Amino acid sequence: MAHRPRIEVTGDTPHFLTLDYEVLVYENGDLVQQNVTVCHEQPIRLIVNGYKLATQMMSPADFAEFACGHVISEGIIQHADQIEAIRISPPDIAVTVTGFDEQMLSRNRALLTSGGSGMVVDGSEFRNKIISAAHVSRDTIFSAMNCLNDHAVLWKLTGGTHCTVLFDTSGHVVAHAEDMGRHNSVDKVIGKAILSGTDLSRTFVSCSGRMPAGMVSKIWRSGIPIVVTNNAPSAAGIDLARQVDLTLAGFVRPPRMVIYSAPERIRF
């Protein structure tokens, strides 16, 4: 059975992900008044064992899943069963964990993020490589990218979100999430998988948006061995993926993809 931390919700939590605005649209020489739907976001402060670690702007949904995914993907803890409790009282999410190393907050560490806030990390941790026998077929990856568009409901409505979908190696959807921030969408998907007891070493993830080192490090820490995106990686993202033996493919737009690292996990 999946480990589930104690989750408590207090205070008012928002129940809407979008807002409507009246705007002027200029098109083909005409100025027209229209109503448009726009993504709603709010600041959320993540507190771990009393320490204020980060403030994120995010879509107001899946707060517990975000907290679970974030503490794993940012290396705050190593195992999901270290999460004891999550108290959601927007704008605060307070997480109680065991084995929290308070000294990590004062070590000489490097910031690995690109857009959004991220934890500073000790580069020595990346000596540990991904160990997984998972393989995914080319056709499954292409289907996953099409499926990404199917789950991008808010993006179709607003054009303002990123989408992340987690699959098993047969291409079945395990979890999905949308958020204003691509980092947040990854954290939420990881958190959903953790809470459902999914073996992440036997999955792969499909993301929208760029794949810099901060995104690659999140996926590596979670134990997911393969990531594909319809966008570009950064040089630092490629270097890190190669260092930790994570399979990274970008510009995945059927019938083409660019494989930057660990191609042996993809069957052609």
Convert the pLDDT of each residue in 116-160 to its tens digit.
444 445 556 777 899 899 999 999 999 999 999 899 999 999 999
d(CA 220, CA 245): 9
User: Positive or negative CA dihedral for 200, 201, 202, 206?
Assistant: positive
How large is the average pLDDT for residues 109-120? 47
β-strand partners of 219: none
Give the pLDDT of residue 114. Answer: 45
pLDDT higher than threshold 60 for residue 32: yes
Give the pLDDT of residue 128. Answer: 86
pLDDT higher than threshold 70 for residue 110: no
pLDDT exceeding 70 applies to what percent of the chain?
91
The pLDDT tens digits for 163-194 are 999 999 999 999 999 999 999 999 999 999 99
The domain segmentation of the chain, as residue ranges, is 136-267
β-strand partners of 267: 137
Residue 24 pLDDT class (50, 70, 90 cuts): confident
pLDDT higher than threshold 80 for residue 14: no
According to CATH, the topology of domain 136-267 is Cytidine Deaminase; domain 2 (3.40.140)
d(CA 130, CA 152): 29
- The per-residue pLDDT of the chain, averaged, comes to 89
- Is the Cβ–Cβ distance between 93 and 67 less than 8 Å? yes
Output the pTM of the full model.
0.90
